[in-house]
Chains A and B, each alone.
Chain A
Amino acid sequence: MNIIEPLVKIALILLINLTTVAYLVYTERRVSAFIQNRVGPNRVGPMGLLQPVADIVKLFFKEDIVPTAANKFVHSLAPLISLIVALSTFAVIPFGNTIHLFGRDIKLMIADVNVGLLYLLALSSLGVYGITLSGWSSNNKYSLLGGLRSSAQMISYELSMGLSIIGVLMIAGSLQLDKIVVHQGNYLGGFLPAWNIFLQPLGFITFVVAYFAETNRLPFDLPEAEPELVGGYHTEYSGMKFGLFFLAEYANMITASAVITTLYLGGWQFPFIENFGFSPLAVSLLQVAAFGVKVALVLLFFIIVRWTIPRFRYDQLMNLGWKVMLPLAVLNIIITGFFILV
């Protein structure tokens, strides 16, 4: 009995995650089209809603080309690392409060690890291995440059990311993501939900910027900067292996949104829900819905930012990472510490 519950949760999360990935790609194409006064995919199915299916089928039927000079084992391993890391980060994210179903209390997260925050940091930095290894194993100068850029970028931004999380940690006093969310259920002055975005806006900004760099999203997508590096780390990938990288990138985006929501936007907290007098089950479901809506909004933010801001130059990226982000993150810790003491 004890093993079925986590298995069901894992299956459910994987299913939801992968569907969201497929439709995230569709949304991104549509939104970018609207931003550029185009229409976007609207041919396959009603409003183009079956486009993701067509894309996936196409990717499966494409020829899988491995370069002769490539290290075949690592070349196949790299996309798997990327995807597995991207998906498994979701294991510690609480997507709802404890729900009472079938006479049992079910905690709506796969693994309630007491070092959830550390697990999250560890896995998100593991993702760089997939990219770096793919760049190295392709035996192609552009891929290698992409991989190297990615690792340099990750190391630079991991620091400010970790430091901005410390602010959250100091407020919540726990590494457990569930406790961090519960802590955000209070109210400031009786009307403002005590989400960490209001408690430490500076930390929020540095964290979001660092996470953009971490997921290789546009202002920081130097590992795959197509005007300079052909395709970057996935130049030599084709077929479903490329598809896995694609999937990993978007799965990372979802994870990033979920993490941002959990740490700064109050997770599954639905402000003032206790005043409406719903039944406990409805409250739990509404909280899950609130989590979904928040994640969706952050995803939309990711997409709009991508189609708004041009790419950084490499030296600008490093300058921003080391000379601006790191001091700001440290400043955030000092400010938070000051307020906690006072």
Chain B
Amino acid sequence: MNSERSTIIRKKDLSLWERMYIPEIVKGMKLTIRQMFAPTFTTQYPDERFQPPASFRGRPVLVEENGVERCVACGLCSRVCPALAIEVQAGETELGKERYPEKFEINMIRCIFCGFCEEVCPEEAIIMSQEYELAFTKPQDALFGKDKLVVPIEKVQTRLNFLRANR
């Protein structure tokens, strides 16, 4: 038993009182009975919803400012994405930013919520939101196009503040 690689952890043998077992059971039962009256941890999900903290990485969204998305379609997010979930096609625009994403698609089945796209984005255009209810019934539903991704800036302000505070 006590070879070179193993060590005895138990410091002392159990006392007679402990070996009688019954008193120890009573001790354990006191603990469980006390726990019965302790508050529960459960969140009653559909009735109560978990409000995630600002550091939470929910589904990635595109920030919309003054009616236009910030994204300039540089494609860095698509490059960095370890799960190859993002597809960007750039197009020209008359606006000051000159480029805009003609197509921006995130495959939410592939997305692993790592937040690399958010970190790499030079324009703070793609950020992780606090939404976590992402269930689909069809795989096609999991392809989030611009219609679902673009979100007004007011809705993601907490995350933006968090990002700036912890840059």
Residues in chain A within 8 A of chain B (CB atoms): 31, 33-39, 205, 304-305, 307-309
Contacts and interface: CB of A to CB of B under 8 A. Distances in A.
A305 B38 CA distance: 18
Contacts, number: 36
B25 A305 contact: yes
Interface stretch (B29-37, B59-67, B90-98): B29-37
A34 B35 contact: yes
* Chain B facing A: main interface SS: helix
A39 B40 contact: yes
Given A308-B29, A309-B28, A37 B44 contact: no
Interface residues of B, number: 16
Contacts of B31: 308
Contacts of A307: 32
Nearest to B42: A39
B28 A35 contact: no
B146 to A, nearest CB: 39
Given A304-B29, A304-B33, A308-B29, A34 B22 contact: no
Contacts of A308: 25, 28-29, 31-32
Contacts of B17: none
B39 interface: yes
Contacts of B28: 308-309
Given A31-B36, A205-B22, A38 B41 contact: yes
Nearest to B25: A309
26 contacts: A31-B36, A33-B40, A34-B36, A34-B37, A34-B40, A35-B32, A35-B36, A36-B35, A37-B35, A37-B40, A37-B41, A38-B40, A38-B42, A39-B40, A39-B42, A39-B44, A304-B29, A304-B32, A304-B33, A305-B29, A307-B32, A308-B28, A308-B29, A308-B31, A308-B32, A309-B28
A315 B90 CA distance: 71
Nearest to A209: B22
A238 B22 CA distance: 37
A124 B34 CA distance: 34
A31 B36 CA distance: 7
Contacts of A38: 40-42
Contacts of B38: 37
A310 to B, nearest CB: 9
B43 to A, nearest CB: 10
A124 B48 CA distance: 48
Nearest to B30: A308
A37 B22 contact: no
Nearest to B24: A309
Contacts of A304: 29, 32-33
Contacts of A39: 40, 42, 44
A205 B25 CA distance: 12
